[in-house]
A and B are shown apart, each in its own frame.
Chain A
């Protein structure tokens, strides 16, 4: 526990260094670094409104990041959270759109089921390829992201296209008010409850079940668990499917909640930020919750940057990228060696 804590603190220190570095660059580019920090603070954490915004962005990220945590802990580098998030959102939209007019107590659960299933299926095929034939899951899940992104463009401008839509981005019809789980484009107690429940369930799974211990052993040394008689393929596949399902759940929440519809190009960096969160949190469920809210805060602050600091909203992407650089520089080598070991054993 202490070990985890120091590691998380170290990771947060890296985040801070990244922020500092960005502020220096922005300063040289003619913007004001103190104003940047101020706008991040105000946009993310300095008021109730800011906190609500941070949670609005942070909670879906938390779910997706939890999925990443689960599959990374099993030793599989599933970087397809973005695609799984999209497929969950697409599947959910099909159901909620197709059942339009039916009672909410039927539609909403079915929509959630479809969304989770959509994400899980999108994680399952790279998972099956991985455990059956040793296909590199980094490549397949990455490709899956592109396929899902293109599919999103197709369905929003084809089968699910909103005929009355005039906006620049193609999108589906708005989800009927009856089926929304939050009012307008903000947070709701329902979303918080879902996230807390899922968070607790995943914490139990990781910290209080055989699966948690075995998957962590498998993630660190797959050869050892094979010699203990574990089925690596089953452990890994479960990790993939849970990871995809959680990303799909996050997609469903966005469709039924804050965004309220499916739109092409929605939240294009969601899944990658989630990976970042999982790595900063050092694959701990508890830490993931805090880190997710912090990154949600950064996302919320993205709206304040242009207003207060005169920075383009894309500055938040630059900051995220800088953090990614620091975190991955810290984490990659160990991950890589782990992966190489897995590969040798299964091929």
Chain B
């Protein structure tokens, strides 16, 4: 760390414990003024906790935070903001029902009791225009595309003359071109003298935008801040992943895990003859009603062959949820057909679709996938119990034993099949779901965001499980917002936009093409 340039933000010996879990341990790091800094690490490395400590949201158990040389009281958002630090959250904090102007007014300063709508709107429009955000002051936050929402959120954070802006995983919800726009905007802000700290998890993005990079792993500082010029993708990926799990993971997987892959690296097809594979899932022009959790599907046609992984890419909220819900008989299909292994199942309930080999790994692990307060064995047995009649007698001791063996085979870390599912870590919880959904009778596996929030080891495990299922002849529909993941393990990729399929791609995949399809720029 160079002492010549002034430090905008300096954290010393920060330790944060959440119960038994140490989120950060003795992290000391200083960020120089006027630069764009990246903080990287896998899920669970402590990046978000670090951002929250700096912004005064989380009070560390020990350590100190200095902003521009001044000690800031810990765990005090108001004082941190007054000192010039602003945090843009991973999930945006703007009230969805507010208009843009209202969100700016009340989000920024708490607002005035009495205001003139016109004056307020003019005031904030000037501010937004200055930052180059194209948006009408009366538009509702919920109606804005995510990229604009994020832009408004950043603008909101800058109202208070923030000197330091922390963005927590700002790229997670953006399309490739949205990411480019964001980075361009950040560079302008940097020129205006704002110090920017980006929490990221893709090396490609780090190298594209940041001046320095800091790596966290398991709550500890691995290195940094080091100048991005002085490092490269291979070096960074090694320090992000660490040596303990690296050996189990193949080269291309490793690159996909840290977002370092160059497009050329993924050119070679993984499986040779998937084109002529008989279809296990054939979706024929299904159109649904507006769904509770996303836009309606509009004439979606999609085919998954045996032994094929079809990736569904797209910015979140473009109908991926509706698609999974339609396949699970939870969305209202207006027209079109779904065929499972040649049988029309459009009007068939989920239970009989499951009996015919459909398996679903739902989006929300903790609500849709598991009952957290129920025992492991109950969660695990639910699928098979539903195959028999309700009054079928069961032998809990036998079920617990089978569950015990199965979970061990899947490498779940647990102590007893009777412990509640909520006591498992995210990766182990997902393995429990895999153990339930990837069985010998599975023919089609719908995997919706199966690796979200998982660390590197668990992510690689999920990929391996999906590949093994493919090798057995399962068809797999993989929905993911992580393009690196899709590029790494899909045989084909379709892109969803506003409830439609907006492009289908075979290997080799090109980021630019798929990125264009994601934003619909060619329309």
Q: Which residues of A contact B (CB under 8 A)?
A: 204, 207-214, 216-217, 220-221, 223-231, 235, 238, 341
Q: Contact check, B370 vs A214: say whether CB atoms are below 8 A apart.
A: no
Q: Contact check, A210 vs B371: say whether CB atoms are below 8 A apart.
A: no
Kindly report which residue of chain A lies nearest to residue B370, judged by CB atoms.
A224
State the CA gap A210–B386 with chains docked (Å).
7
Q: Contact check, B367 vs A223: say whether CB atoms are below 8 A apart.
A: yes
State the CA gap A200–B210 with chains docked (Å).
68
Shortest Cβ distance from B423 into chain A, in angstroms? 12
Q: Which residues of the other chain, B, contact A214 by a CB distance below 8 angstroms?
A: 382, 385-386, 390
Q: Contact check, A210 vs B396: say whether CB atoms are below 8 A apart.
A: no
State the CA gap A209–B391 with chains docked (Å).
6
- Kindly identify, within residues 364 to 385 of chain B, every residue whose CB is under 8 Å from any CB belonging to chain A: 367-374, 378-379, 381-383, 385
Kindly report which residue of chain A lies nearest to residue B399, judged by CB atoms.
A213
The 5 closest A-B pairs by CB, nearest first: A221-B371, A229-B350, A229-B351, A211-B390, A210-B385
Q: Contact check, A224 vs B368: say whether CB atoms are below 8 A apart.
A: yes
Q: Which residues of the other chain, B, contact A238 by a CB distance below 8 angstroms?
A: 390
- Kindly identify, within residues 388 to 427 of chain B, every residue whose CB is under 8 Å from any CB belonging to chain A: 388-396
Identify B379's interface contact among A212, A217, A229, A230, CB under 8 A: A217
State the CA gap A223–B354 with chains docked (Å).
16
B360 on the A face (CB < 8 A): yes
Shortest Cβ distance from A206 into chain B, in angstroms? 11
State the CA gap A229–B373 with chains docked (Å).
19
Q: Which residues of the other chain, A, contact B374 by a CB distance below 8 angstroms?
A: 216-217, 220-221
Identify B393's interface contact among A208, A226, A341, CB under 8 A: A208
Identify B372's interface contact among A207, A216, A221, CB under 8 A: A221
Q: Which residues of the other chain, A, contact B390 by a CB distance below 8 angstroms?
A: 209-211, 214, 235, 238
Identify B370's interface contact among A213, A221, A230, A341, CB under 8 A: A221
Beyond A209-B391, A217-B379, A229-B386, 17 extra complex contacts between A and B, CB < 8 Å:
A208-B393, A208-B395, A210-B390, A217-B371, A217-B374, A220-B373, A221-B367, A221-B372, A223-B367, A224-B370, A227-B369, A228-B354, A229-B353, A229-B354, A231-B349, A238-B390, A341-B367
Q: Contact check, A225 vs B382: say whether CB atoms are below 8 A apart.
A: yes
Kindly report which residue of chain A lies nearest to residue B329, judged by CB atoms.
A229
Number of inter-chain CB pairs below 8 Å: 89
Kindly report which residue of chain A lies nearest to residue B349, judged by CB atoms.
A229
Which among B349, B372, B391, B395 has the highest number of chain A CB atoms within 10 Å? B391
Shortest Cβ distance from B62 into chain A, in angstroms? 33
State the CA gap A216–B373 with chains docked (Å).
10
Q: Which residues of the other chain, A, contact B372 by a CB distance below 8 angstroms?
A: 220-221
State the CA gap A342–B345 with chains docked (Å).
27
State the CA gap A212–B391 with chains docked (Å).
9
Shortest Cβ distance from B435 into chain A, in angstroms? 14
Can you list 23 A-B pairs with a CB-CB distance of less than 8 A? Answer: A209-B391, A209-B394, A210-B388, A210-B392, A211-B390, A213-B385, A213-B394, A214-B385, A216-B374, A220-B374, A221-B370, A223-B367, A223-B368, A224-B370, A224-B382, A225-B371, A226-B330, A227-B328, A227-B330, A227-B360, A229-B329, A229-B386, A231-B349
State the CA gap A217–B368 with chains docked (Å).
12
State the CA gap A207–B378 with chains docked (Å).
11
Q: Contact check, B386 vs A228: say whether CB atoms are below 8 A apart.
A: yes
Shortest Cβ distance from B422 into chain A, in angstroms? 10
Q: Contact check, B373 vs A221: say whether CB atoms are below 8 A apart.
A: yes
Q: Which residues of the other chain, A, contact B378 by a CB distance below 8 angstroms?
A: 213, 216-217
Q: Contact check, B389 vs A231: say whether CB atoms are below 8 A apart.
A: no
Identify B394's interface contact among A208, A223, A225, A228, CB under 8 A: A208
Q: Contact check, A224 vs B367: say whether CB atoms are below 8 A apart.
A: yes
Kindly report which residue of chain A lies nearest to residue B364, judged by CB atoms.
A223
State the CA gap A214–B354 with chains docked (Å).
16
B362 on the A face (CB < 8 A): yes
State the CA gap A162–B351 with chains docked (Å).
54
State the CA gap A231–B349 with chains docked (Å).
9
State the CA gap A212–B399 with chains docked (Å).
14
Q: Which residues of the other chain, B, contact A231 by a CB distance below 8 angstroms?
A: 349, 351
Q: Contact check, B392 vs A209: say whether CB atoms are below 8 A apart.
A: yes
Q: Which residues of the other chain, B, contact A204 by a CB distance below 8 angstroms?
A: 393
Q: Contact check, B386 vs A230: say whether CB atoms are below 8 A apart.
A: yes
Kindly report which residue of chain B lies nearest to residue A230, judged by CB atoms.
B386
Q: Contact check, A209 vs B393: say whether CB atoms are below 8 A apart.
A: yes
Shortest Cβ distance from A212 into chain B, in angstroms? 8
Q: Which residues of the other chain, A, contact B394 by a CB distance below 8 angstroms?
A: 208-210, 212-213
Kindly report which residue of chain B lies nearest to residue A225, judged by CB atoms.
B382
Q: Contact check, A213 vs B381: say whether CB atoms are below 8 A apart.
A: yes
Q: Contact check, B382 vs A228: say whether CB atoms are below 8 A apart.
A: yes
Which among A209, A224, A230, A238 has the highest number of chain B CB atoms within 10 Å? A224
State the CA gap A231–B329 with chains docked (Å).
12
Q: Which residues of the other chain, B, contact A341 by a CB distance below 8 angstroms?
A: 367
State the CA gap A208–B393 with chains docked (Å).
6
